[in-house]
Amino acid sequence: MPRPGARSRPPESGSRAARSVLPSPLFPPAPAGPTKGTPMTTVEQLGATVTETRTITLAGAQQGITAALRKAEELGARVAIVVLDAGGHVQALARMDGAPAVATSVAQNKASTALVVRTPTNEFAEAIKQDAVLVSSLASQPGMALFSGGLPLVSDGTPVGSIGVSGGMGDEDLNVARAGAAAIV
């Protein structure tokens, strides 16, 4: 045993000491092979249920973006368009030349809100406008947008994603979102 405070030499490569790692309470040694008597448990054996999630594909999202861009051009609007998948993740995004940079995050918030509430954002905002406390509370939540331009994308009654549009005037965002949604579902 080395004396306290003495420096020890590192073990030579290939020696047993160089190949082993000392066990610790935080990192106990792994078993050398399969553990006997502990069969692997599957999700099904635990009685849990697994569901399949339907979601929009990249190709579908791109079709929606293309149709929305055509509608925006037709209206003379400069917008950002965001398509989210069923999990709320960006599947496709486009910001037209001349659209304000902030329109991208607002479009994503509109799409996120529509996905979460499963209702077009303009209809949801209209439905809750009489409850000032609710409106104030929801408006202060990150990612919520309580105005027109977000639509859920539903296929056979199942939400598969959403689309959000921002940067237009009046009903332009909603009309562009509708054109994109129609091309997807």
Residue type at position 51: T
* 4: in domain: no
* 16: in domain: no
CB atoms within 10 A of CB 154: 14
Residue-wise pLDDT for 108-120, tens only, equals: 999 999 999 999 9
Q: What is the pLDDT of residue 157?
A: 92
How far is the C-alpha of 177 from the C-alpha of 103, rounded, in Å? 14
* 9: in domain: no
**CA angle, 39 then 41 then 46, to 5°:** 140
DSSP secondary structure string for all residues of 63-95: HHHHHHHHHHHHHT---EEEEEETTS-EEEEEE
Neighbouring residues of 171: CB distance < 8 A, sequence distance ≥ 6: 148
Q: What is the pLDDT of residue 28?
A: 55
Residue 183: DSSP 8-state:
H
Residue type at position 55: T
* 179: in domain: yes
User: What beta strand segments (E) does the chain contain?
Assistant: 80-85, 90-95, 150-155, 158-166
The structure's pTM equals 0.74
Q: What is the pLDDT of residue 33?
A: 56
Q: Specify the number of domains making up the chain.
A: 1
What is the pLDDT tens value at each position of the chain, 185 positions in all?
555 555 555 555 554 544 444 555 555 555 555 556 666 666 666 666 777 789 999 999 999 999 999 999 999 999 999 999 999 999 999 999 999 999 999 999 999 999 999 999 999 999 999 999 999 999 899 999 999 999 999 999 999 999 999 999 989 999 999 999 999 97
Q: What is the pLDDT of residue 17?
A: 47
Do the Cβ atoms of 162 and 87 come closer than 8 Å? no
Q: Which of 135, 89, 137 is nearest to 112 (CA)?
A: 89
Residue 115: DSSP 8-state:
H
CB atoms within 10 A of CB 157: 5
Domain that holds residue 120: 58-184
* 30: in domain: no
Q: What is the pLDDT of residue 185?
A: 77
- CATH classification at residue 76: 3.30.450.150
Neighbouring residues of 136: CB distance < 8 A, sequence distance ≥ 6: none
Residue with tokens 């940079």: 101
How far is the C-alpha of 159 from the C-alpha of 155, rounded, in Å? 6
* 47: in domain: no
Q: What is the pLDDT of residue 139?
A: 87
* 110: in domain: yes
* 177: in domain: yes
